[in-house]
Amino acid sequence: MKKLIDWIEQRTGLQGLLHEVLFERIPGGARWRYVWGSTLSFCFFVQILTGVVLWMAYSPSAHSAWESVYYIQHEMTGGWFLRGLHHFVAQAMHVLLVLHLLQVIIDGAYKAPREVNYWFGIVLLMLTLGLGLTGYLLPWDQKGFGATKVATSLMGIVPVIGPSLQKLVVGGADYGHHTLTRFFALHAGVLPGLMIVAIAAHVALFRRHGITAKQPYRKPEARFWPDQVLMDGVACLAVLATVVYLTERHHGAELHAPADPTQPFNAARPEWYFLFLFEFLKLDFLTQWFGHHGELVGAIVIPGLVMGVLSAMPLLGNWRLGHRFNLGFLAAILVGATLLTVQSLRSDAANPGFQAAVAQARTEADRMVTLIRAAGGIPRDGAASLLKQDPATVGPRLFAQHCASCHRHGGHDGLGIVSAEPPSAPDLRGFGSAAWLRGLLQADTITNSAYYGGTKFRAGKMVRYVREKLPKLQASEPVALEAMIAAVVAEADLPADRAGAADRTTLVEAGRRHVATTFGCTDCHAFRKPDEEATAPTLTGWASRDWMIRLVGDPTHVDFYGSRNDRMPSYLKEGRLTERDIGLIVDWIRGDTDPARWLTGPTAMATNGVSAARR
């Protein structure tokens, strides 16, 4: 054994190197305040390790980036944990960098002769921020896409070279395949490569100058091994424990729905460690003092100046009050950044519109997973193609855009935004259900804003009927009313009602007679047979898919409101919406959102084939 060690030592000098590494002198003994550099090295090591494995499963193109990350997150064994580690260690690195910088400044470890080493540290800080920025885009989800668009737009406002710089970073005039290939090359190649070089130089220079021991010494001089190594190890373990805890708690890193440049993404925010900059750009003084250059000043000039002062600290530190200035400056920046971050989080927490957008983004992300699972995989056209066919996703979006200026859905616009204005048309949540119809047929609710309150029908025949005639009929025939409601609701054939439909056959049969006789609905409405004298919307197929599509398409049709139509546009007739779009809204309102109904492509067939074969 001894011979082997000697043989290696003679040819490599390994022992000497090891000795130098482990037996670095520490005047005043091991201390907790020296652990930050080691925790950062540890984090970088974890990022390389997890990053390389993620790389093995990642595919950088606009057609496959999101899909490959989906596979890592939701299908690969341990994929979510690996991705979570990579995500949260990246966040930890930003925190640890700040702590390391603080310790270096407080202890004066940046002063001569350690200036160059300090500058390597600043370079490492910028490389880490660059890695965070480039990594954010790679999943190609709504959040990363939106944030990167903003970041690259800011790049474009740099005078003279801005537009070219932006084009080079984006890989063309528009976002696409080459944006991803370029960001990925930066994230997995260029930046980590530079980082390895910078870390090597940083550590080599640190060894050359030795540790900046904090005075006064508490203990006698010691060596790096074993006391300081133990402390560093414990610190790394604490970092790791925090990261594992966060990964477990959030089930890894979030993956939003695939990037879709045609949809507004109102939950757009940068990663939390850039929030302070985001909030800073909102400050009034920028536009007040610098007018139209506010953006340039806020996003480029001021951060540039701050980095400049940070870099100049070793030189400033030579002045009499230099060190105090440096301490004060750093403290001011950190307090400012913290306040801005808190301000940003607080204003978002108090903003119901933003909260609704975040909830909606989560719903869409979850729905995406449901759809992919139902389809048995992602079709060739990409995950977004599934989302675009999905009534549960597209329905509320179209509703918010085209219907919510008058109607509501459960009090909001379908996407969770509650308007300050009262609705001028019925609330369509649960339309076609017995509960909805019961509400319409009640004297005290029919003129609510959720029913006819905002329409011209508030003074119409139906309201008069419900107020004057129906209560008397109801008193004499309480059972008949429920039967009548059951009969009309049976026309809707809502998916939610299909389960118990067979048990209600007798009730519905009886109800159909009451519609015509007891309640005289057919005096105005047609019901289950043509009625040319009908003056109100037909109840034949009421709230069924076909009935609703036809009504939305043209409410002025004689089967519906005819010339008595209030303000409802004829969406199909006027070309405002296609029949397919109306179908998506209707399916969503009717709760007919089971993907098995419309997943009829080759993928669904293939899965059906597989399950059939298994049987």
Partner 1 sequence: MESDPGIPSRNRREFLTGAAACTVGACCGAVPLVSGLIAWLDPLTRGAGGGDWIQVAEVASIPADGTPVRISVVTSRSDAWTRESAVPVGVVYLRRTGPAEVVALHSVCPHAGCFVDYQVDRRAFFCPCHDSTFAVDGSINDPRSPSPRPMDTLAVEVRGGSVWLRFQNFRPGIQAKVALT
Using CA of residue 422, residue 425, residue 426, residue 429, what is the dihedral sign?
negative
Cβ–Cβ < 8 Å for 84, 250: yes
Polymer length of the chain: 615
Q: How crowded is the C-beta side of 227, counted as CA atoms within 13 Å?
A: 15
Distances (CA, A) of 71 to 76, 367, 388: 6, 15, 20
Binding of partner 1 by 267 (CB under 8 A): yes
Binding of partner 1 by 388 (CB under 8 A): no
Token representation of residue 418: 């509650």
**Residue number with CB closer to partner 1 (42 or 145):** 145
Cβ–Cβ < 8 Å for 402, 577: yes
Binding of partner 1 by 579 (CB under 8 A): no
In the complex, minimum distance from the CB of residue 156 to partner 1, in angstroms, rounded to a whole number = 6
Cβ–Cβ < 8 Å for 269, 262: no
Token representation of residue 92: 């930890």
Binding of partner 1 by 153 (CB under 8 A): yes
Between CA 101 and CA 126 the distance in angstroms is 13
Cβ–Cβ < 8 Å for 366, 591: no
Binding of partner 1 by 407 (CB under 8 A): no
18-26, 147-155, 241-249, 315-323 -> range binding partner 1 (CB under 8 A): 147-155
Residue 187 phi/psi, 5-degree rounding, is -70, -40
**Residue number with CB closer to partner 1 (212 or 266):** 266
Q: Which of 78, 113, 193, 261 binds partner 1 (CB under 8 A)?
A: 261
In the complex, minimum distance from the CB of residue 563 to partner 1, in angstroms, rounded to a whole number = 19
How many amino acids of this chain bind partner 1 (CB under 8 A)? 60
How many other CB atoms sit within 10 Å of the CB of residue 304? 12
**Residue number with CB closer to partner 1 (421 or 532):** 421
Cis peptide before 391 (omega within 30 of 0): no
**Residue number with CB closer to partner 1 (450 or 470):** 450
Binding of partner 1 by 140 (CB under 8 A): no
Q: Which of 34, 184, 265, 519 binds partner 1 (CB under 8 A)?
A: 265
Distances (CA, A) of 518 to 435, 472, 478, 511, 540: 21, 11, 11, 9, 18
Using CA of residue 108, residue 113, residue 116, residue 117, what is the dihedral sign?
negative
Between CA 92 and CA 238 the distance in angstroms is 11
**Residue number with CB closer to partner 1 (109 or 356):** 356
Binding of partner 1 by 311 (CB under 8 A): no
In the complex, minimum distance from the CB of residue 369 to partner 1, in angstroms, rounded to a whole number = 24
In the complex, minimum distance from the CB of residue 286 to partner 1, in angstroms, rounded to a whole number = 7
Binding of partner 1 by 322 (CB under 8 A): no
5-13, 149-157, 303-311, 538-546 -> range binding partner 1 (CB under 8 A): 149-157
In the complex, minimum distance from the CB of residue 166 to partner 1, in angstroms, rounded to a whole number = 9
In the complex, minimum distance from the CB of residue 283 to partner 1, in angstroms, rounded to a whole number = 9
In the complex, minimum distance from the CB of residue 357 to partner 1, in angstroms, rounded to a whole number = 7
Residue 331 phi/psi, 5-degree rounding, is -60, -45
First to last CA, the chain: 62
In the complex, minimum distance from the CB of residue 426 to partner 1, in angstroms, rounded to a whole number = 16
Cβ–Cβ < 8 Å for 464, 559: no
**Residue number with CB closer to partner 1 (77 or 262):** 262
Between CA 218 and CA 86 the distance in angstroms is 38
**Residue number with CB closer to partner 1 (357 or 515):** 357
Token representation of residue 551: 């009504």
Site for partner 1 in 58-77 (CB under 8 A): 62-63
Binding of partner 1 by 528 (CB under 8 A): no
**Residue number with CB closer to partner 1 (128 or 142):** 142
Between CA 246 and CA 249 the distance in angstroms is 5
Binding residues (CB under 8 A) for partner 1: these are: 62-63, 146, 149-150, 152-154, 156-157, 163-164, 167-168, 170-174, 176-178, 261-268, 278, 281-282, 284, 286-287, 292, 294-296, 299, 347, 351, 353-354, 357, 400-402, 404-405, 413, 417, 419-421, 569, 574-576
